[in-house]
Amino acid sequence: MPTHRERMQACLAGQILDRPPVALWRHQPVDDQSPETLAAATLHFQQTFDFDLVKVTPASSFCLRDWGVEDEWAGSSEGTRRYTKRVISRPEDWARLPMLEPRSGHLGRQIECLRSLRKTLGPETPILQTIFNPLAQAKNLAGETQMLDHLRRYPEALLEGLKIIATSTKRFIEAAAETGIDGIFYAVQHAQASLLTQAEYQTFGLAIDQSILTPAPELWCNILHLHGEQIYFDLSPAYALLFSRPLIVNWHDRETPPSLSEAQRRFEGVVCGGLSRDTLVLGTPAQVREEAQDALRQTGGKRFLLSTGCVVPITAPYGNLRAARNGVA
């Protein structure tokens, strides 16, 4: 029986061992407020379903709290927290962001979580740390509306802030790599036509990301997540070049183009998706299995990781998650 690591390595090489890999991930609300409880909840989820990789999903504020952001748990079905305090209100605030130290404060607590998970899971289960790209972090520092206003009215001020965020993020990735993780889950939220033009995203997204994505050689298993609708999927090859290795691309394929089959014609890496979050929450195990089998038909099972387009809502029934786990068996 192949290990999870062997199955993922084969997938990245365009091969299939016994089956295509499967992985789902979710937020761990309340438990995500300390490294010990986040590690325990993440480990419990993995021990329950035995997925082929573990994507560590802290609250999105984990990388922002050392800048003074505050949030609260308000019961979202996605498991996300609600922001209650932003730290950017004026354009000049961006340049005042201090550089963060990745081994102390809230960032250091996330490093503790990764170290604990690596020790417990061992080397044969790939572990990926969630990383929000600087533009996504800027959105939560200022609020979406204000960040977009600064992008168009005060672009130089925002770019100054994005460079500070990028340097802090790169330092955190380097510290995380030292814990023995296998890769990062790089979350991009603004590469979609409803928010930015492609030229705007090239300037404020991709160009800034170029200064971050030179991961350590041991980070061999990386996922690019393109969030939202009307995404700029054709940026995927550019990101693959930044990672300098085979890349997995994840998006809401059941909600927005391209389909899995079309994506494989446009991208040489691994496509990740196939399952609708609505089906996982509201459907039946039979409907979950039907979607998984359709995804297999679209991809032939090669260069394919079965998952959803984003986090699994915390309201998804156990039986549906089990059906997803066994959907390509």
Mean pLDDT of successive 10-residue stretches along the chain, which has 329 residues: 97 97 98 98 98 98 98 98 98 98 98 98 97 98 98 98 98 97 98 98 98 89 98 97 95 98 97 98 98 98 97 98 95
The domains of the chain are located at 4-325
Q: Is the peptide bond before 258 cis (omega within 30 degrees of 0)?
A: yes
pLDDT of residue 215: 82
Beta bridge partners, 188, equal 226
E strand or H helix that includes residue 156? helix 155-177
User: For residue 281, which of 250, 312, 235 has the smallest C-alpha distance?
Assistant: 312
B/e letters for 223-254, b = 16+ CB within 10 Å, e = fewer, are bbbbbbeebbbebbeebbebbebbbbbbbbbb
Work out the burial of residue 112: count CB atoms within 10 Å of its CB; fewer than 13 is exposed, 13-18 middle, 19 or more buried. middle
Task: Give the tokens for residue 30.
Answer: 């309340």
Helix, strand counts (H, E) of the chain:
13, 9
**Cα–Cα distance for residue pair 96/257, rounded to 1 Å:** 39
**Cα–Cα distance for residue pair 298/286, rounded to 1 Å:** 19
Task: Give the tokens for residue 89.
Answer: 């209100």
Where residue 215 falls (left for φ over 0; alpha for ψ -120 to 50; beta otherwise) is: beta
pLDDT of residue 208: 98
CATH number of 4-325: 3.20.20.210
With beta carbons less than 8 A apart as the criterion, state whether 191 and 232 touch.
yes
Written as one letter, the residue type at 4 is: H
Cβ-proximal residues to 302 (8 Å cutoff; 6+ apart), any chain: 11, 14, 15, 16, 20
pLDDT of residue 329: 79
pLDDT of residue 214: 85
